[in-house]
């Protein structure tokens, strides 16, 4: 998916929502606040995984994540291969209901890459999660 927004901007700029300093001190909260100030063109897979996992900036980050997953369905951040896919499939149902083209793109991608996911050498629990999440995901629209 080609982004329809300027990726040289930050989430703060695109959303016109400036959070300021974190009011809670944790690594995750600090990281999310910092990532809102990072230009989207500089986001790495781990940045996408973290923010999507927190349901932050989805309208801007999901199209970027779909592009990454189109290149490598098993794109990983710092946790495990396929971590980005897991968080994309887990993100808010309301987002997918309101963004059917992106939902359709993920459906197509999962169908195209099913054998890659099935044959990938990883823990069975991870594979099981992908396909259970996908089953739920398919039912959204």
Q: Give the per-residue pLDDT at 141.
A: 86
139, 97 in Cβ contact below 8 A? no
Count how many residues are written for the chain.
141
Domain count, the chain: 1
| Range(s) of the domain holding residue 18 | 11-138
Per-residue pLDDT 10s for the chain (141 aa) are 777 889 999 999 999 999 888 888 899 999 999 999 999 999 999 999 999 999 999 999 999 999 999 999 999 877 788 999 999 999 999 999 999 999 999 999 999 999 999 999 988 999 999 999 999 999 998
Could you count the other beta carbons within 10 Å of the beta carbon of residue 32? 20
Q: Is residue 58 part of a domain?
A: yes
Q: Is residue 5 part of a domain?
A: no
Q: Is residue 3 part of a domain?
A: no
Could you give the CA distance from residue 103 to residue 30 in angstroms, rounded to a whole number? Answer: 30
- Give me the torsion for CA of 15, 10, 94, 1, rounded to 10°: 120
Could you give the CA distance from residue 99 to residue 77 in angstroms, rounded to a whole number? Answer: 24
Could you give the CA distance from residue 22 to residue 68 in angstroms, rounded to a whole number? Answer: 29
Q: Give the per-residue pLDDT at 23.
A: 87
Q: Give the per-residue pLDDT at 56.
A: 97
Q: Can you give the pTM of this predicted structure?
A: 0.93
Q: Is residue 2 part of a domain?
A: no
């Amino acid at each position: 998916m080609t982004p329809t927004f300027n990726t040289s901007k930050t989430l703060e700029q695109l959303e016109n929502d400036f959070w300021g300093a974190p009011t809670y001190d944790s690594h995750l909260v600090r990281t999310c606040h910092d990532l809102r100030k990072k230009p989207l063109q500089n986001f790495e897979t781990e940045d996408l995984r973290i923010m999507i996992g927190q349901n932050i900036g989805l309208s801007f980050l999901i199209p970027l994540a779909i592009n990454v997953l189109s290149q490598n369905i098993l794109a990983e951040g710092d946790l495990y291969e396929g971590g980005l896919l897991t968080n994309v499939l887990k993100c808010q149902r309301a987002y997918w209901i309101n963004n059917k083209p992106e939902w359709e793109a993920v459906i197509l991608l999962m169908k195209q890459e099913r054998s890659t996911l099935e044959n990938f050498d990883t823990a069975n629990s991870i594979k099981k999660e992908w396909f259970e999440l996908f089953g739920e995901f398919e039912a959204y629209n």
